[in-house]
Amino acid sequence: MTLALNLINTPMKVILRTMMKIDDRDIAKIPMSGPLILATNHINSLDAPVGFTHLHPRRMTAFVKIETWNNPAMALLFNIWKGIPIHRGEVDFDAFHQAQTALKEKKIILIAPEGTRSFDGKLKKGYPGIVLLAVRSGVPILPVVFFGNEKVNHNLRLLRRTDMTIKVGRSFTVNFANETLSRDFREEVTEEIMYQIAALLPAEYRGVYADVSKATTRHLTFISAKLN
C-alpha cells in the first residue's frame, strides 16, 4: 500500500502544484503521526487531493460520502487513501467505529464538520459528529483550513494558476468534565470548533461564523506543546 500511495500521491501533487500555487508552509506544524483529528473547512473536490498529497507520508484517513464509491476511479483512489465511507444525513455507526479504529492505530483523520462542500469558500454551519468522536476517543483536534481553490475553474478557463493557502491553528482537546453528552453540549462545542476554523480564514471566507467576537472556548483546552 505504501508503494501505491507513492505512485498516486507523487504525480498528483505535481499536477496540483502545476494548476495552483500552493502555500503549504504551515503543514510543518502538523505532527507526522496521530492520533489526531484535523478539523477543516470543505470548499470543493480539490480539498481532499491537496490534503492527502501534501500531508503524505503521514498515515491518515478522512470521512468520504458513500456516493463516491459509485465511481470506479474515485473508489480506487479513496480505497488507496483509506477513506471512510459515510452516509450523510444520518448517524453512521459503522463509519464512527472505523474512525475510532483509525485513531487507535495512531492515524490522522480529516473531518469537515460542515459535511458538504461550500463551493464559494464561505463557511456553512457545522454538524456535531466531530464532538462525539473527540469525546469518545479523547484525541486532540487541530484546526486546518484551505482557501483560494474555489477560484480554480475560473482561472483554468483563463489559463491562469490559482493561489491556494493552507493554514494550521492551535491544537486542543474537548473538556468533557462534569458534562453530559447532550445535544446542547455537542452543539455548543461544535460552534467553538467552527470558530477556531473561522479564525484561520480571511474574513470573506468566514460565512455564518463571520463575527469571531462571538467565539468562546469554554469547552476547549489548548495544548501548548507540539503534538508528536
The domain spans of the chain are 2-222
- Please say whether the beta carbons of 54 and 24 come within 8 A: yes
Q: Please give the Cα distance from 169 to 193 (Å, whole number).
A: 11
Which pLDDT score, from 0 to 100, does residue 3 have? 85
Count of helix runs (H) and strand runs (E) in the chain:
7, 9
Which pLDDT score, from 0 to 100, does residue 22 have? 98
Q: Please give the Cα distance from 23 to 126 (Å, whole number).
A: 26
Rg of the chain (C-alpha set): 17
From residue 16, give the alpha-carbon distance in Å to each of 20, 50, 152, 164. 6, 7, 11, 10
Paired with 119 in beta bridges are none
Q: Please give the Cα distance from 184 to 36 (Å, whole number).
A: 24
Which pLDDT score, from 0 to 100, does residue 24 have? 97
Using a 10 angstrom Cβ sphere, with 0-12 exposed, 13-18 middle and 19 or more buried, the burial of residue 204 is exposed
Sign of the Cα torsion 163, 140, 100, 130 reads negative
- Those residues of the chain that have pLDDT short of 70 are 1, 225-228
CATH architecture of 2-222: 3-Layer(aba) Sandwich (3.40)
The backbone torsions φ and ψ at residue 25, rounded to the nearest 5 degrees and listed phi first, read -60, -30
Which pLDDT score, from 0 to 100, does residue 204 have? 98
Which pLDDT score, from 0 to 100, does residue 60 have? 96
Which pLDDT score, from 0 to 100, does residue 1 have? 65
Which pLDDT score, from 0 to 100, does residue 225 have? 55
Which pLDDT score, from 0 to 100, does residue 151 have? 97
Q: Please give the Cα distance from 128 to 36 (Å, whole number).
A: 17
